[in-house]
Amino acid sequence: MRRRVLPLLAIGLIVVGILGILAISILLTTQFGVAGVFQVPPEAATDPGVQNGARIYFTATDSAGRAIPYRGGTVMRLACANCHGPDGHGRATMMFVSPNITYANLTNPEGMLEPDGERMPPYDDATLKRAITQGIDSEGKPLDWPMPRWQMSEDDLDDLIAFLKVLR
Ligand code: HEC
């Protein structure tokens, strides 16, 4: 009897596991919504740098169509827009709250406004690149785990920042 029960138990556990993964994916899709509803403002639509930055922001792929590698972050591959919103204003999900990363907020001379209402020292381009690639915030402290550490070329970083500038 025992020999029969164990394989059944194993199959049962696998089925429960698969159902769990399915449930989580459905939850994530509804939580994060579908990217691509956002339109680049007309004044920036013709700028190739901004366009490249927008593609990175919405798809996390480089100009050759390759997936931009990252460390940390979520197991499920997500682009900036999925976590920070198509307009960059941040969002609250069941797993984390992400900040407003419009350039205007990140570099606000009065301090960057965090979702909890706290103000952090403003970023400049160098510390912003460090945040994106190394996950270090403007105070030199590590960002929470959901924020991936992206391995991006200097040109792509410049374009991504150019795109964060057009977000309002
Ligand atoms: C899986 C979700 C996720 C993805 C994808 C993601 N981020 Fe984040 N990001 C976060 C979270 C959550 C935080 C807040 C971390 C914290 O407060 O410690 C954050 C923080 C940041 C910060 C620092 C802001 C601050 O509060 O100091 C910047 C800048 C940033 N993200 C830019 C980006 C860019 C650019 C991309 C795409 C290349 C990106 N993020 C992709 C979730 C994500």
Per the confidence metrics, is the pTM higher than 0.85? Answer: no
The Cα diameter of the chain in Å comes to: 73
Q: What is the mean pLDDT of the chain?
A: 86
Share of the chain above pLDDT 90, in %: 69
Task: Among 52, 118, 124, 143, name the best residue to mutate to test ligand 1's pocket (greatest count of ligand atoms within 8 A of Cβ).
Answer: 143
Give the residue, out of 32, 77, 98, with the most ligand 1 atoms within 8 A of its beta carbon, to mutate for a pocket test: 98
* Ligand 1 site, residue 147, Cβ cutoff 6 A: yes
CATH architecture for segment(s) 35-166: Orthogonal Bundle (1.10)
Whether 95 contacts 146, CB under 8 Å: yes
Atom in ligand 1 nearest the alpha carbon of residue 144? 18
**Residue ranges per domain, the chain?**
1-32, 35-166
Q: Name the phi and psi angles at 113, rounded to 5.
A: -85, 120
CA of 2 to the centre of ligand 1 (A): 50
Instruction: Indicate if the pLDDT at residue 101 is higher than 90.
Output: yes
pLDDT at 41: 66
The predicted pLDDT at position 141 comes to 98
Question: Is 160's C-beta closer than 6 angstroms to any atom of ligand 1?
Answer: yes
Measured in Å, residue 101 CA sits from the centre of ligand 1 at 8
Q: What is the mean pLDDT of residues 72-80?
A: 94
Task: State if residue 107 touches ligand 1 by the CB under 6 angstroms criterion.
Answer: no
Contacts of 56 (CB under 8 A, 6+ apart): 62, 68, 79, 80, 152, 156, 159, 160, 163
